[in-house]
Structure 1
Amino acid sequence: MTLAMSWEEWASHDAVGLAERVRNGELTPAELARQAAAGIAKTNPSLSAVVEVFEDVVADPLSDGLDPAGPFAGVPFLMKDLGPTLKGRLQEQGSLFMRGNRPAADAWLTARMRKAGLNLMGRTTTPEFGVCSSAENPAVYVTRNPWDTDYTTCGSSAGTAAMVAAGAVPLSHATDGGGSIRIPAGFNGNIGLKASRGVFSIAPNLSDISGFVSTQGCQSRSVRDTAAFVDACRGGAPGEFMPYWTAPEPYTQLIKRDPGRLRIALSHEWGDYRATPAIVAELEKAGRFLEGLGHHVDWALPEADLRAAFAAQTTCYISNFAQVIAGLLETRGLQRPPEGLIEPMNIRIWEAGKDMSYAERYRMQAVFNSTARAFGAFFEEWDIILTPITALPTPKIGATEYLTISDNPDVLDWFGHLWKFFAYTPLSNLCGIPAISLPMGRQENGLPFGIQAQARQAGDGLLLQLAAQIERALGGRWNDGRRPPVHVTAA
C-alpha cells in the first residue's frame, strides 16, 4: 500500500497541521485514515494498545457521520473503549463480562466529535471499567509503554497514551476520573488536560451531579491540538443538570499570547503523601524553568484536610463503581458478578459499595464541598499549583498491587496503595478544577515524566496559555525532542 507521506513527515504534523493540509487540498481524509491504520499496524503488535480498527471508516471516512467541514477535517481519532458510545460499535470496557456489547446510539459527545471533523476509526485499551492503574489483565490484553515495553503505560487511558506517543495518531480520546488522562500522558510523554467541570458532557447516561468526578478529553502532542479539541467538542446536552459554560475567547486564539506574570505554587507534600527525591528534583527543575519565564514561584499548599479528602474520594469511587457494576448485572438479570468474567477487585468494590447509604454519600459530599472551598480560597492567592504527576515512578508490567486483578482482600488497603502512587491527580476531580500534565520531566530510567499544573475552576484557558508559553520556550521540543523506541518512524 502506498502511503500519502513518509513516516517522518507524518510524525512532524499535529492534528491542526494535518487538517490544514486537507483544507488546502493536499491530502484527503481517506489518505489520513490509511496512514493512521498503517501506523497502528506497525506499532500495535509491540504495544497492544488498539482493540479494533473500524475498517469501513478507514475505507470511507464519511460513511459514519463525520462532518468534513469541521475544524479537524477528517483527522484520524481513536476512542477509548469506555465512556462515549458509538452507535452499533463494540464497547467492551476492558472487561470479559462486556464482550460483544454494542450500544444502540451515539453519546452526545460522540456527535460533537463527529461534527468537529474527527474520524472515529478505532478503539483503544482500558482497564476493566476504567477502575485501576493499567490496562493489564493477561486474559484481556496487556498494554505496554512505547518508551520501554517492560513498563506499563499506566491508565486508565492506556491505549490512547501509547498510540499518541508512538506517533500513530496525533491525538486520541481519553477519560479522567482521578488522573486517567494525566497519568498516562505523563508516563508516555504526551499532553493531557483534565478539563473543569461543565466543559465536556457525559450525557445521556450521566450528568455532572451523578458522575461527580469523571470527565472526558484527549491526549495530544501539541498544545494547539488540545485547545482545538476543547473549542470544538465542549458544551452541554439538552437537559443537563448544571449549566455548561463557554470561554470568552476560543482557546486556539488565547494560546497565541503569553499569560501575564503568574503566581505559581509548588508542592509535593500532599497530605500523607510524598514524592521520591528524584521526582522532587524534576518538580524543582520545572519551577526554575518557570521562574526563567518571568513567573513568581514558591512553595505553598491549600489549607485543606487532605486525609479526609482522600477518604471521601475513596467513598466516591467505591459507591460509583459499585452502582456501575450493579447496573450492568441488572441488564442481564444477575444477582452478583460472575467469577472469572469480572476482575476480583471490582467484585470486592461492588460488595463494599452496593449497599452504601445516602448518609455516607452525604458525608462524602460535605468533604467534597469543604475541600473545593479550600482550593478555591487558595486560588484567590495563587494562579497555579504545580506538582509531580505521581509520587512514584512508572511501574513495570506485572506490578499487580495496583491492578484490579490484585488478590488484596482489603478494598480500602488497595485504594491506599493507589493514593500513595497517584497522590496528586484525584483532588482536581473532586474539586472540579482543571489540571494538565506536561511532558517536562524525565525519570531516572529515561522514561518521560509529567509535571502537573492545576488552576481555579474555569481556569482551563490559563493552563493552556501557560502550556503554550512553555512549548514555545522549548522550541516545541517536549521530551527534550526524544521519541520512544516503538514509534512509526522506527525501522
Structure 2
Amino acid sequence: MSLPLSWDEWAGQDATALAGLVRAGQVTPAELAAQAAAGIARLNPTLSGVVEVFEDVVADPLRDGMDPAGAFAGVPYLMKDLGPTLRGRLQEMGSLLMRGNRAAADSFLAGRIRQAGLNVIGRSTTPEFGCCSAAENPAVYVTRNPWDTGFTTNGSSAGTGAMVAAGVLPISHATDGGGSIRIPAGACGNIGLKPSRGVFSIAPGASDLSGLVSTQGCHSRSVRDTAAFVDACRGGAPGEFMPYWQPAEPYSRLIQRDPPRLRIALSHEWGDYRATPHFVAELERAGRLLEGLGHHVDWALPAVDFRAAFAAQTTCYISNFAQTVANLLAQHGLDRPPGGLVEPINVRIWEAGLDTSYTERARMQAAFNATSRAFGEFFEAWDIILTPVTALPTPPIGTTEYLTLSDNPSVLDWFGNLWRNFAYTPLANLAGIPGISLPMAAQENGLPLGIQAQARQANDGLLLQLAAQVERALGGRWNGGRRPGVHVAAA
C-alpha cells in the first residue's frame, strides 16, 4: 500500500501540522487514516495498545459525522475503551464481563471530538474499568511500553500512552480519575494535561460534580496540540449539573506568549510518600531549567493533611468503583460478579464499597473540602507546584501488586500500595485543580519520567503557557530528542 508520508515524516508531524497538510490539499483525511491504521498494524502486535480499528471509518472518515472543517481537519484519533461512548461501537472497558457491549448513543464529548475534526478510527486499551495502574491481564491484553517492552505503560490510559509515544498517531483520548492521563504520559514520554473541573463534559451519564474525581483529556507530543484539543472540545452539555467555564482567550493563542515570572514550588515529600533519590535529582534539574527561564523556584509544600486526603480519596474510589461494577452487573441481570469475568481486586472493591454509608461519604466530602482549601491557600503564595509524576520507577510487566489481578486480600492495603508509587497525581482530582505531565526527565533505566506541574483551579492556561515556554527552550526536543526503541520510524 502506498502511504502519503514516509514514517519519519509521519512521526515528525504533530496533529496541527497534519491538519495543515490536509487544508493545503497535500493529503486527505482518508490517507491519514490509512497511514495511522498501517502504523497500528505495524506495531500493535508488539505493544497491544489498540483493541479495535474501525475499518469502515478508515475507509470513509465522514461515516460517523467527523467534521473536516474542524480544527484537526480529519487527523486520526483513538478513543480509550472507557468513558465517552460511540453509538453502535463496542465499549468493553478492558473487562471480560463487558465483551460484546455496544453503546446505544454517542456521548456529548464524542460529538465534540468529531466536531473538532478528529477522526475516531478505533479503541485504545485500558485496565478493567480503568481501576489500576496498567492494562495487563493476559486473558484480555498486555499493553507494553515502547521504550522497553519489558515494562508497563502505567495506566489507565495505557494504549493511548503507547501509541502516541511510538509515533503511530500524534494525539489520542485519555481519562484521569487519579492520574490516568498524567501517569502513563510520564512513563511513555508524552504530554498529558488533566484539566480543572468544568472543562470537558461527561454528559449525559454524569457531571464533574457528581463524578467528583474523573475527567477527560488527551495525550499529545506538542503543547499546541493539547491546547487546540482543549479549545475545540471543552464546554458543557445542555442541563449540566454545574457551570462549565471558558478562559479569557483561547489557549492556542495564549501559549504563543511566555508566562510572567512565576513562583514555582518544588516538592516530593507528600505525607508518608517520598520519591527515589534519582527522581528528586531530576526534579531539581527541572527546577534549574525553570530558574534559567527567569522563574523563582524553591522548595515548598501545601499544608494538607495528607493522610486524611488519601483516606478520603480511597473511600471515593472504593465507593465509586463499587457502584460502577454494580451498574454493569445490573445491565447483565446479575446480582454479583460472576466467577472469572471480573478481576479479583474489582470484586473486593465491589464487596467493600457497595454499602458505603452517607455518613462515610459526608466525611469524605469534608476531607475533600479541607484539602481543596489547603491547595487554594497555597496557590495564593505560589503559582505552580512541581513534582515527579510518580514516586517510584515504572513497574516491569508482571508486577501484580499494582494490578486488579492482585491476590491482596485487603482493598485498603492494595490502595495504600498504589499511593506509595502514584502519590503526586490523585489530589489534583480531589481538589479539581489542573495538572500536566511534561516529558522533561528520565528514569535510571532509560524510560521517560514525567515532571508534573499543578496550579490553582481554572489556571489550566498557565500550565500550558509554561509548558510551551519549556518546549521552546528545549527546541521542541522533549525526552532529550530521543525516540523509543519500538517506533513507527524504526520498525
Q: Give the TM-score, by structure 1 length.
A: 1.00
Give the 3-state SS of the residue equivalent to 2:62 in structure 1. Answer: helix
* Superposition deviation, residue 62 in structure 1: 0.6
Could you tell me which residue of structure 1 aligns to residue 223 of structure 2? 223
Aligned amino acid, residue 219 of structure 1: H
Could you tell me which residue of structure 2 aligns to residue 199 of structure 1? 199
* Superposition deviation, residue 186 in structure 1: 0.3
| Structural mapping, 1:78-117, within 5 Å | 78-117=78-117
Give the 3-state SS of the residue equivalent to 1:103 in structure 2. Answer: coil
2: distance between equivalents of 1:209 and 1:8?
43
Unmatched runs of 5 consecutive residues or more in structure 2: none
Could you tell me which residue of structure 2 aligns to residue 132 of structure 1? 132
1: distance between equivalents of 2:361 and 2:65?
40
Once the two structures are superposed, residues 346-399 of structure 1 have per-residue CA deviations (whole angstroms, 9 ceiling, x without a partner) of 000000000010110000000000100000000000000000000000000000
Could you tell me which residue of structure 2 aligns to residue 5 of structure 1? 5
Could you tell me which residue of structure 2 aligns to residue 23 of structure 1? 23
* Superposition deviation, residue 209 in structure 1: 2.0
* Superposition deviation, residue 304 in structure 1: 1.1
* Superposition deviation, residue 490 in structure 1: 0.6
| Structural mapping, 1:39-438, within 5 Å | 39-438=39-438
1: distance between equivalents of 2:294 and 2:454?
18
Q: Give the TM-score, by structure 2 length.
A: 1.00
Give the 3-state SS of the residue equivalent to 1:302 in structure 2. Answer: coil
2: distance between equivalents of 1:120 and 1:105?
15
* Superposition deviation, residue 468 in structure 1: 0.1
Give the 3-state SS of the residue equivalent to 1:145 in structure 2. Answer: coil
* Superposition deviation, residue 335 in structure 1: 1.1
Give the 3-state SS of the residue equivalent to 1:144 in structure 2. Answer: coil
Aligned amino acid, residue 271 of structure 1: G
Once the two structures are superposed, residues 188-231 of structure 1 have per-residue CA deviations (whole angstroms, 9 ceiling, x without a partner) of 00000000000000110111122100000000000000000000
Could you tell me which residue of structure 2 aligns to residue 35 of structure 1? 35
2: distance between equivalents of 1:369 and 1:443?
35
Once the two structures are superposed, residues 252-271 of structure 1 have per-residue CA deviations (whole angstroms, 9 ceiling, x without a partner) of 00000000100000000001
Identity of counterpart residues, as a percentage? 79
2: distance between equivalents of 1:457 and 1:41?
41
2: distance between equivalents of 1:174 and 1:250?
21
| Structural mapping, 1:450-489, within 5 Å | 450-489=450-489
1: distance between equivalents of 2:55 and 2:41?
12
Q: Where do 4+ consecutive residues of structure 1 move more than 6 Å? A: none
2: distance between equivalents of 1:394 and 1:346?
22
2: distance between equivalents of 1:333 and 1:12?
49
2: distance between equivalents of 1:331 and 1:23?
44
1: distance between equivalents of 2:335 and 2:89?
27
Aligned amino acid, residue 207 of structure 1: S
* Superposition deviation, residue 46 in structure 1: 0.6
Give the 3-state SS of the residue equivalent to 1:471 in structure 2. Answer: helix
2: distance between equivalents of 1:30 and 1:332?
38
Could you tell me which residue of structure 1 aligns to residue 442 of structure 2? 442
* Superposition deviation, residue 331 in structure 1: 1.6
Once the two structures are superposed, residues 278-303 of structure 1 have per-residue CA deviations (whole angstroms, 9 ceiling, x without a partner) of 11010000001100000000000111
Cα RMSD (Å): 0.5
2: distance between equivalents of 1:83 and 1:447?
28
